Amino acid sequence: MEPQHRPLLEVSKQLAWTFLRLQRLLDRLLAGSDASVAKIRLLAYVADEPRRSTDIATFFGHSPRTVTQAIDALEAIGHLRRCPMTGDRRAKLIEITEEGRALLQRAQPVYVQILDETVGRLPPEELAAMDAALVKLSAFIEAAEQRADQSESD
C-alpha cells in the first residue's frame, strides 16, 4: 500500500466500523419490539416514495431474491403492499402501508435516543463539518457510480 493511501483507508475503515457498530446498537435496542434496522431501513426507503423491488435491491446491494423475501415478510404482516405500476403490467411498486408508517413512528424514539447519545454529543461545529463532508462524499460517490454505469454500458 502506498503511504499516501494509508490515511484514506484508515478513515474509510473507521467510518465503516462506526456505522456497523451503530447499526448493531440499534438492533439490540429494537430487539424488544417488532422492528429491526433491516425492517426500518426498507420501510423508510419506500416511505419516501414507492419503489420497484429491483430498485430496492440495487440501492441496498442485495440480491433480488433477498429483497423479495423481505418484501414478502413485510407484506404478510401488513407493513408493505405491492401496487400496479403505470405503464408496465408486469412490474409492481412497493409502497408502505399505514401499519408500516406506524412501525417507523414507534421505532423513531429509539433511533433518536441513540443519535442523541452518539452523534448528538458532537459539538455543533463538528456536526456541521461532518454533515458538509458527508454531503460532498455522497456527491463524489454519485459521480463514481455514474462513471461505473457508463463504463458498464460501453
Q: Which residues of 103-119 are buried (b: 16+ CB within 10 A; e: fewer)?
A: bbeebeebbeebeeeee
Residue 57, domain CATH: 1.10.10.10
User: Using an 8 Å Cβ cutoff, are 81 and 72 in contact?
Assistant: no
Q: List beta partners, residue 84.
A: 92
- Structure confidence at residue 121 as a pLDDT band (50, 70, 90): very high
Query: Which of 113, 111, 107 lies closest to 79 in space, CA to CA?
Result: 107
Statement to judge: residues 17 and 60 lie in one domain: yes
Structure confidence by residue, pLDDT tens digits, 77-100 = 999 999 998 888 888 999 999 999
**132 is in which domain, residue-wise?**
122-154
- Between these two residues, 71 and 7, which has the higher pLDDT value? 71
User: Using an 8 Å Cβ cutoff, are 109 and 129 in contact?
Assistant: no
Residue at 39 is within a domain: yes
Statement to judge: residues 99 and 139 lie in one domain: no
Statement to judge: residues 36 and 91 lie in one domain: yes
The continuous run of DSSP H or E covering 35 comes out as none
